[in-house]
């Protein structure tokens, strides 16, 4: 039980002000390098695809340019597929899984779709291994008009600039042990509420949109990923992270209402993947491949639906 748990910043029961947010930012540090680990992988795709810069983070624009990778033969009659990674920068396989998809599978699917991949929406979070941005804002609760999180605002502007209807959006995430050990306690402290301990499920699951669940699409994603890694079981309450499991490995959130990246488009088929990288049963590369399998499983399902 964590009833007596106190986060080292702020006063229990009181929302953080500017001073606490600054204190939080002061204890962050660079732990890995976007320019060395991510940008070279993006650059390596420039021959095959159109790489475009869609913005830069104002904290350090030279250090944090924002890139997307687009199909070269963008044609108005083809439906658009959006893949996003690193909305939570610490969720490593979201970033590297998106890049792995671009490297290995995107060309094949570019015959049928216009594809745009934004592999690292939150590069500061990638470098500091953080869920929040430097303002202690969660980009994945900030997808709404006039967003105060520039990571989210930049992606929304990219989406608005795309030519054609977005049919599919797959947003790549992880659920990690640090969600319970660090990020949820920090959230409770920031918002001045009590931290109630939760449980991190061992395995992959997806989050669909409660306003448009697309159960068969979710099932196709789960089926594809299950060939690469194990699917999270429901807990004894029939839940995963506090939400009812509506079908094997699937929970639902109201994407738009919560300001989630999964609500950034009006797509027909949308899912948010949740890879569990802390399982003793998986390697980092398997996590990346699970993300690729999720995208491929989803796209194969959509192609099959379209040919009916």
CA 194 to chain CA centroid, Å, is 26
Instruction: By CB under 5 A, name the binding residues for Zn ion.
Output: 88, 91, 173
Shortest distance (Å) from residue 70 CB to Zn ion: 24
Ordered DSSP codes for 200-231: --SSBEEEEETTB--HHHHHHHHHHHTTTSPB
Shortest distance (Å) from residue 282 CB to Zn ion: 17
Beta-bridge partner residues of 271: 170
Give φ, ψ of 156 to 5 degrees: -60, -40
CB nearer to Zn ion: pick between 158 and 260: 260
**Of the candidates 214, 127, 118, 251, which has an alpha carbon nearest to the alpha carbon of residue 172?**
118
CB nearer to Zn ion: pick between 115 and 121: 121
Q: What's the order of all strands across the beta sheet hosting 166-174?
A: 50-56, 65-70, 114-118, 80-85, 166-174, 269-275, 205-209, 250-253
CB nearer to Zn ion: pick between 45 and 172: 172
Torsion of Cα atoms, 253 then 257 then 258 then 262, to 10°: 60
State the CB neighbour count (10 A cutoff) for residue 151.
30
169, containing H or E segment:
strand 166-174
CB nearer to Zn ion: pick between 59 and 253: 253
Shortest distance (Å) from residue 140 CB to Zn ion: 6
CA separation for the pair 175, 193 (Å, rounded):
22
Shortest distance (Å) from residue 91 CB to Zn ion: 5
CB nearer to Zn ion: pick between 169 and 173: 173
Q: Is 133 helix (H, G, I), strand (E, B) or coil?
A: coil
Shortest distance (Å) from residue 304 CB to Zn ion: 29
Shortest distance (Å) from residue 122 CB to Zn ion: 10
Shortest distance (Å) from residue 90 CB to Zn ion: 8
CB nearer to Zn ion: pick between 96 and 173: 173
For residue 160, what is the DSSP state? Answer: H
CB nearer to Zn ion: pick between 91 and 127: 91
Alpha carbons within 13 A on the beta-carbon side of 17 = 3
């Amino acid at each position: 039980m964590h009833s007596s748990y106190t986060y080292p910043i702020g006063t229990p029961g009181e929302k953080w002000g500017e001073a606490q947010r600054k204190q939080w930012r002061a204890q962050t540090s660079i732990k890995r390098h976007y320019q060395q680990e991510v940008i070279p992988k993006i650059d390596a795709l420039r021959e095959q695809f159109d790489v475009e810069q869609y913005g830069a983070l104002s904290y350090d624009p030279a250090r944090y340019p924002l890139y997307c990778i687009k199909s070269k033969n963008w044609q108005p009659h083809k439906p658009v597929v959006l893949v996003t990674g690193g909305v939570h920068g610490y969720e490593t396989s979201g970033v590297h899984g998106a890049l792995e998809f671009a490297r290995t599978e995107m060309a094949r699917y570019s015959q049928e779709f216009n594809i745009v991949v934004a592999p690292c929406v939150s590069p500061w979070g990638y470098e500091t291994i953080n869920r929040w941005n430097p303002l202690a804002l969660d980009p994945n609760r900030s997808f709404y008009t006039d967003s105060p999180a520039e990571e989210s605002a930049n992606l929304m502007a990219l989406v608005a600039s795309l030519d054609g209807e977005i049919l599919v959006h797959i947003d790549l995430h992880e659920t990690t042990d640090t969600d319970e050990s660090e990020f949820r306690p920090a959230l409770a402290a920031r918002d001045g509420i009590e931290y109630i301990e939760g449980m991190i499920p061992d395995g992959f699951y997806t989050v669909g949109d409660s306003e448009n669940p697309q159960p068969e699409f979710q099932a196709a994603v789960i089926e594809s990923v299950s060939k690469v890694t194990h699917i999270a079981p429901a807990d004894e309450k029939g839940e995963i992270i506090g939400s009812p499991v509506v079908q094997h490995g699937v929970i639902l959130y109201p994407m738009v209402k919560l300001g989630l990246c999964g609500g950034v488009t009006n797509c027909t088929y949308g899912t948010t993947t949740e890879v569990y990288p802390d399982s003793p049963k998986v390697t980092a590369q398997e996590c990346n491949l699970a993300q690729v399998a999720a995208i491929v499983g989803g796209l194969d399902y959509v192609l099959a639906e379209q040919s009916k």
